[in-house]
Amino acid sequence: MPRDIIILECTEARAKGKPVSRYISTRNKKSPNTPGRLEKKKYNPFLRRRTLHREVK
């Protein structure tokens, strides 16, 4: 199975003292287009806006 399940976690919530927002997604680990950690803008319901979410281990 070439696609792996990853967790995306909000990067701004902890600095503001709010609970972190997490999303589950998949990615192709062997793709040369995304060698590092995945970053996406997703909605954080605790901050009520779109924030940057990064892949966590």
| Residue 19: predicted pLDDT | 96
Q: Which residues constitute the domain of residue 50?
A: 3-56
Please give the pLDDT value at position 13. 95
Tens digit of pLDDT for each residue in 1-57? 688 999 999 999 999 999 999 999 999 888 888 788 999 999 999 999 999 999 998
Q: pTM of the full predicted structure?
A: 0.85
Side by side, which strands form the sheet with 39-44? Answer: 22-28, 3-10, 49-56, 39-44
Instruction: Give 1-5 contacts, CB < 8 A, sequence gap 24+.
Output: 2/28, 2/29, 2/30, 3/27, 3/28, 3/29, 4/28, 4/29
Number of domains in the chain: 1
Residue 26 has a pLDDT of 93
Q: Return the pLDDT at 31.
A: 83
pLDDT value, residue 1: 62
The dihedral built from the CA positions of residue 34, 9, 21 and 25, taken in this order, carries a sign that is: positive
User: The CATH number of the domain where 12 resides is what?
Assistant: 2.20.28.120
